[in-house]
Structure 1
């Protein structure tokens, strides 16, 4: 399994399209591009970091390691010169599988109370049938996909146990004059 596959699976579940806060549904579905929120790239990264921090707080594993790279941007298919989304894959690792399972459970139980709607939960369709959840924010144009990579009868012994998190925003309109090809 690769981290990128989770990002691609997330983009079809919720907030991968242009978002308009006044028109977007609670589950974060598509809104029209002409009314999309204009947001600078640095501010969009800050928002993605804040969402990731909230997810990390809910997982609540302080003894584990967390991958370092921050949010990046990716252009949106409908208008790659003017629309982009933030993508923030990261993981928690280097703790016992029991700690990872408990953290995943805390996240599942805590998300609704923090304004998230869980739109999918259960084993995914991978060969390993990895436990996964996808949730959409009710207040911001973000979705999160989380996978629990631990040993199981279908996966066998997991060599690199972790909780893999992918935070993805809806599409933002770049401010006039922004060259998205120079952003990362």
Structure 2
């Protein structure tokens, strides 16, 4: 038995990766920056501590960079405006607790068990940032692996 307050959907890891990739793509569309570069690695799988032999989650950290700080600021603001219109509830918004006090937002999907965290990493005052970017981290809730799946081979 697990300690979750929900019953995890049974899903093949490849399908969960595809779902996560689609959410990341939607987030990128909401940010709306066309001339920046986006990091390439796709979503990965990690264990759910509640039942690591049967449950897993997806994680997809990525960033958009190689564009102006003004474009990044505008893109971050578009994301903040678009998330609620696209089925996301913003649960946290404002400067984070890092030394740079980067602007950060966290949102939960109102239809799927996914959360996103986005951070605007730009220069502050006299502190110049070498590579300004928006860093995005998409994380799913737990999924149940289909019967017979060896999760050890998926991580």
What TM-score do you get using the length of structure 1 for normalisation? Answer: 0.81
Among candidates 91, 99, 106, match of residue 63 of structure 2: 91
SS in 2 for 1:68: coil
State the Cα distance separating 1:91 from its structure 2 match. Answer: 0.3
Give 1 or 2: higher strand fraction.
Answer: 2
Cα deviation, residue 56, structure 1: 0.3
Question: What's the secondary structure of 1:111's corresponding residue?
Answer: helix
Matched, 1:69 2:36: no
Distance (whole Å) between structure 1 residues aligned to residue 134 and residue 75 of structure 2 = 8
* 2:105 is the counterpart of 1:123: no
- Structure 1 position 150 matched with structure 2 position 122: yes
| Post-superposition offset of 1:36 | 1.7
Q: 1:3-31 deviations in whole A, cap 9, x for unaligned? A: xxxxxxxxxxxxxxx8xxxxxxxxxxx52
Q: Which residue of 2 aligns with 1:177?
A: 148
1:122 aligned counterpart, secondary structure: strand
Matches within 5 A, 1:20-169: 31-32=5-6, 35-153=7-125, 156-169=127-140
Deviation by residue 1:22-58 (Cα, 9 ceiling, x = unmatched): xxxxxxxx524xx221111000001001100110000
- Separation of aligned partners in 2, 1:144 and 1:156: 27
Distance in 1 between the 2:65 and 2:102 partners?
16
Shift of 1:156: 1.3
The total of aligned residue pairs comes to: 153
Q: Which runs of 5+ in 1 are unaligned?
A: 1-17, 19-29
Q: Measure how far apart 1:127 and its partner are.
A: 1.3
Unaligned runs of 5+ in 2: none
What TM-score do the two structures reach when normalised by structure 2? Answer: 0.95
Name the Cα RMSD after superposition.
1.2
